[in-house]
Amino acid sequence: MSASETAQKVVTRFAPSPTGYLHIGGARTALFNFLFARHHGGQYLVRIEDTDKKRSTPEAIEAIHDGLDWLGLLGDEEPVFQSQRAGRHAEVAQQLLDKGAAYKCYLTSEELTARREAAQAAKKPFRLNSEWRDCQPGPEQEGQPFVVRLKTPNEGESVIEDMVQGRISVKNDEIDDFILLRSDGTPTYMLAVVVDDHDMGVTHILRGDDHLNNAFRQLPLIKAMGWPEPTYGHVPLIHGADGAKLSKRHGALGVDAYRDEMGLLPEAVFNYLLRLGWGHGDEEIISRTRAIELFDAGGIGKSPSRFDTKKLLNLNGHYIREADNARLAELVAAEAGASSDEDKALLTRAMPELKARARDLHELAAGATFLFKSRPLQMEEKAAGLLDDEARKNLALAHAALSDVPRWEIEDVESAIREVADQAELKLGKLAQPLRAALTGSNTSPGIFDVLALLGREESLARIADQMRNAE
Ligand code: GLU
């Protein structure tokens, strides 16, 4: 940023329309605005753009709140609700009328349609040219419905120095006199956004590049009010791995699905979203603190980024391995079947082994269920397949050796099992696989010695004995 920009306090905002869940693109916009503000020591605000009363639902507002909360991206202040500011929006429209920067347009919808159709028939682009722009209403307009339109300049060009897209210009005659207030007196989106951004003191706007066209309409409105222009950064949208626009099929889910269905940690999603369209050299693992330190608009890519579920899961695996064991235990306790405090303590103890193998919290929970299964264990199909007669005999050998272990520590159980294998001239796997089946009911688990140590002497011996007996 230039010196004059840094001199002012940076204020950013995330302005979702609550017509659905917080989707991944929205979450990334929130993240970029949050980081930009934090990086520049500024403020990050949230505005709920709930003016579309039919489509905005309380459930969507809650889902957005929860999603932002989970990612640590709630605003620095209580959110602003756009719908509550209609009076203020109308006031600004009136000010624009008073200064002659806007006008009451009495064209009826029939007249507009006729003009549109005439343009179509003549194969010309439709450009509204309202005669009301320079004409005062007479007595016959008294009581007639009107809309308020902005008098946008017809000559010259408008320029945006976009933080992401660079310099972009549009000829002013391409921008029509758009509506500020509808005939029922309600503000349009275009008016509401500009007034709210101004009143909230927003200095920098990072948003999807689908809003770039809007920026060229918002600018003349800002100029007409004599307000400072915000600095824009229009971020390319997210595409699927195949390059097509992101859809549900690609993982365009609500943030709640990332948490609940995919079992992701918020810090992993945070890191992933950051890297999705922003980069700093080839750093992949970037913590929240480091992101705040590094983030600037210069690192935002100019082309659409591709959503990659595999990368996201790999990153999640990394953050699971980094995460605190007690926290992970708490997160997966219910799903793993741990109910008592004792169960949770066991789960925490098992975590270093369990988390090394999981890429998401559901895998982590599934890997932990063996700890809390009740006897006799239900064998998964593959585990049952491991327990043939020979395997059951080997289980009996292991049981005998383990019964004599004086101290139930991982080293002691390990040397007991290795000794049995040596004496019986068995490969370790010949003992380990049936033991795994007997102890966990599954053919995959953490290392078998860890499993023995975690389950403890009594439970381990009993589980092994259950499967020996089955052979009889
Ligand atoms: N409410 C708009 C949206 O959800 C964003 C408006 C803006 O960022 O200016 O797409």
Residues 65, 104: one domain?
A: no
Per-residue pLDDT averaged across 364-380, rounded? Answer: 96
Q: Are 290 and 386 in contact (CB under 8 A)?
A: no
Whether the predicted pLDDT of 254 surpasses 90: no
SS (H, E, C) the chain: CCHHHHHCCCEEEECCCCCCCCEHHHHHHHHHHHHHHHHCCCEEEEEECCCCCCCCCHHHHHHHHHHHHHHCCCCCCCCEEHHHHHHHHHHHHHHHHHCCCEEEECCCHHHHHHHHHHHHHCCCCCCCCCHHHHCCCCHHHCCCCCEEEECCCCCCEEEEEECCCEEEEEEHHHCCCCEEECCCCCECHHHHHHHHHHHCCCCEEEEEHHHHHHHHHHHHHHHHHCCCCCEEEEECCEECCCCCECCHHHCCCEHHHHHHCCCCCHHHHHHHHHHCCECCCCCCCCCHHHHHHHCCHHHECCCCEECCHHHHHHHHHHHHHHCCHHHHHHHHHHHHCCCCHHHHHHHHHHHHHHHCCCCCHHHHHHHHHHHHCCCCCCCCHHHHHHCCHHHHHHHHHHHHHHHCCCCCCHHHHHHHHHHHHHHCCCCHHHHHHHHHHHHHCCCCCCCHHHHHHHHCHHHHHHHHHHHHHHHC
How far apart CA 396 and CA 465 sit, in angstroms, is 8
Any domain includes 344 = yes
Mutate to test the pocket of ligand 1, among 17, 48, 235 (most ligand atoms within 8 A of CB): 17
Residues 71, 137: one domain?
A: no
Whether the predicted pLDDT of 258 surpasses 60: yes
Any domain includes 21 = yes
pTM of the predicted model as reported, rounded to 2 decimal places: 0.91
Residues 60, 120: one domain?
A: no
Whether the predicted pLDDT of 288 surpasses 60: yes
Instruction: CATH number of the domain at 454, please.
Output: 1.10.10.350
Residues 89, 146: one domain?
A: yes
Indicate which atom in ligand 1 lies nearest the CA of residue 218. 9
Any domain includes 219 = no
* 396 confidence band (pLDDT: 50, 70, 90): very high
Indicate which atom in ligand 1 lies nearest the CA of residue 29. 8
Residues 51, 112: one domain?
A: no
228: which 2 tokens?
Answer: 């400072």
Which residues approach ligand 1 with their CB closer than 6 A?
15-17, 49, 193, 207, 211
Any domain includes 164 = yes
Catalytic residue among 248, 302, 373, 382: 248
Indicate which atom in ligand 1 lies nearest the CA of residue 16. 4
Residue 48 Cα, ligand 1 centroid: separation in angstroms? 9
Per-residue pLDDT averaged across 23-39, rounded? Answer: 96
Residues 101, 165: one domain?
A: yes
Task: Report pLDDT digits (tens) over 213-247.
Answer: 999 999 999 999 999 999 999 999 998 878 777 76
Residues 138, 101: one domain?
A: yes
Mutate to test the pocket of ligand 1, among 68, 207, 216 (most ligand atoms within 8 A of CB): 207
Instruction: CATH number of the domain at 103, please.
Output: 3.90.800.10
Any domain includes 226 = no
Instruction: CATH number of the domain at 305, please.
Output: 3.40.50.620
Q: What is the pLDDT of residue 472?
A: 47
Any domain includes 42 = yes
* 471 confidence band (pLDDT: 50, 70, 90): very low
Residues 21, 116: one domain?
A: no
16: which 2 tokens?
Answer: 């979702």
Residues 356, 334: one domain?
A: yes
Per-residue pLDDT averaged across 266-285, rounded? Answer: 95
Whether the predicted pLDDT of 437 surpasses 90: yes
Residue 257 Cα, ligand 1 centroid: separation in angstroms? 22
**Residue 333's domain spans which residues?**
323-372
Residues 368, 451: one domain?
A: no
How far apart CA 133 and CA 100 sit, in angstroms, is 10
Tell me, yes or no, if 355 is annotated catalytic.
no
Residues 360, 424: one domain?
A: no
Number of structural domains the chain divides into:
4
Residue nearest to atom 5 of ligand 1 (CA): 15
Residues 365, 342: one domain?
A: yes
Residue nearest to atom 7 of ligand 1 (CA): 15
Mean pLDDT of the chain: 93
Per-residue pLDDT averaged across 435-440, rounded? Answer: 97
Indicate which atom in ligand 1 lies nearest the CA of residue 197. 9
Per-residue pLDDT averaged across 341-364, rounded? Answer: 96
The residue among 192, 225, 255 that closes a domain is 192
